[in-house]
Structure 1
Amino acid sequence: MSNQPPYPPQQPYGQPPFQPEPPKKRSVGKVVGLGCLGIVGLFVVVGIIAAVIGGGSSDSKSSASVGKSPDKAAADTRKSDTKKDATDDKVVFKVWGTAPAGALGGLDIGYGSDSDTRKGTFKDGKFEATLTLDKGALYYNVHAQLQGSGDINCSVTADGKTKKGHASGGYNICTAQLSSNFTGGWS
């Protein structure tokens, strides 16, 4: 026979039979610090991109003022910044080429922005329309679908930028789109 008692030792009344584990410590500081570092990093990357994009546009102004005094060059730059071309406030949509009417009719043209879509008519081998430029628009596009045969080109121009497209034969679609970018320009 063994020297062990017949029953396990009794726990005092109201206490659990084992010690509970202490609560785990959370490393909130590390997570918050890493989040702040990520946000700061994002601002640094955006700043670098803006500097690269902005750096390209200033070269054209400085090269135009070579050989002039600094005061006169600065005055010329201010004048060119304030001078606006009449086309700066317009978006021009164009379609041109050969597109005979097919079984579904003539060339199907649509143009406009993300919030304003219109239909166009192709006459004498061309189509052209102009809209007022809305700096808040996400994009401007033009599309033209052939109706069985033909060869067409299309373009959209806004703020000095142009995108072009081409379609040939069948029921192919010519499309061109300018999209706004985060700097307020068009690409």
Structure 2
Amino acid sequence: MGVLLLGVGIGAAGNSSSDGGKKASAEPAPTVTVTAPAQVDAEAEPAATVTVTRTATATAKAKAEADTADSGDAAPSGKAVFKVWGSAPAGVDITYGSDGTNLQGNGLPLKKTLSVDEGALYYQVTAQLMGGGDVQCSVTINGETKKGHAQGGYNICSAQLNSDFSGGFS
């Protein structure tokens, strides 16, 4: 007669940060423990019960989340930084660039940098969900950042910085 015992312990607290989730939390990673009896020959005499326990700890993702979630990074001078992050299980269609370019991105998280053309009218990023998910997007030029958010269905995240005709973007 075989008996299988399964124990799962998850120790993670909710994110109650008041900074809008911009900083990575130092919450403990989930821990999973699986306990099962050792394999015993069915025809052998009854013996003492031996239990084998293995514990696995999930790898913390705090640094990766901090790198992608903080869309307020200062862009290098003369550069436009485009970011898209979040969850899109069915996929996401990403387009970014200026009024004169229409580039395609793939995979999350996405971070792309382009040189700024002072003659451009705007710089934009869009990310269309392909059936569900929750994504955020941003475009940053010279310390100015615009952000967008989309959740569920085929919704579109969009962020755009416009030229202010004096060489800057807002």
TM-score, normalising length from structure 1? 0.50
Cα deviation 1:58-112 (Å, max 9, x = unaligned): xxxxxxxxxxxxxxxxxxxxxxxxxxx98011110000000012xxxx2100000
Q: Percent identity?
A: 61
Three-state SS of the structure 2 residue aligned to 1:148 is coil
Aligned partners of 1:183 and 1:131: how far apart in 2? 20
Q: CA deviation at 1:132?
A: 0.6
2:78 to 83, 89, 95: 89
- Structure number with larger C-alpha Rg: 1
Aligned to 2:94: 109
Aligned partners of 1:143 and 1:129: how far apart in 2? 13
Cα RMSD after superposing both structures? 1.4
Work out whether residues 128 and 155 of structure 2, in 8 Å CA contact, stay in contact via their aligned partners in 1. yes
Q: Which has the higher strand share?
A: 2
User: Residues 176 and 86 from structure 1, CA distance in 2 versus in 1: closer, same or farther, beyond 3 angstroms?
Assistant: closer
Three-state SS of the structure 1 residue aligned to 2:118 is coil
How many aligned positions are there? 97
User: Residues 153 and 132 from structure 1, CA distance in 2 versus in 1: closer, same or farther, beyond 3 angstroms?
Assistant: same
Aligned to 2:62: none
User: Residues 181 and 150 from structure 1, CA distance in 2 versus in 1: closer, same or farther, beyond 3 angstroms?
Assistant: same
1:137 to 112, 120, 126: 120
Q: Partner amino acid for 1:97?
A: G
Q: Partner amino acid for 2:103?
A: R
Aligned to 1:164: 147
Q: CA deviation at 1:139?
A: 0.3
1:100 paired to 2:64: no
Q: Partner amino acid for 1:99?
A: A
Aligned to 1:152: 135
Q: Partner amino acid for 2:136?
A: N
Cα deviation 1:112-163 (Å, max 9, x = unaligned): 00001100011xx311111011111100000000011100000000111100
TM-score, normalising length from structure 2? 0.55
Aligned to 1:47: none
List structure 1 runs of 4+ shifted beyond 6 angstroms: none
Q: Which has the higher helix share?
A: 1
The unaligned stretches of length 5 or more in structure 2 are 1-73
User: Residues 91 and 98 from structure 1, CA distance in 2 versus in 1: closer, same or farther, beyond 3 angstroms?
Assistant: same
Aligned partners of 1:129 and 1:142: how far apart in 2? 10
Aligned to 2:166: 183
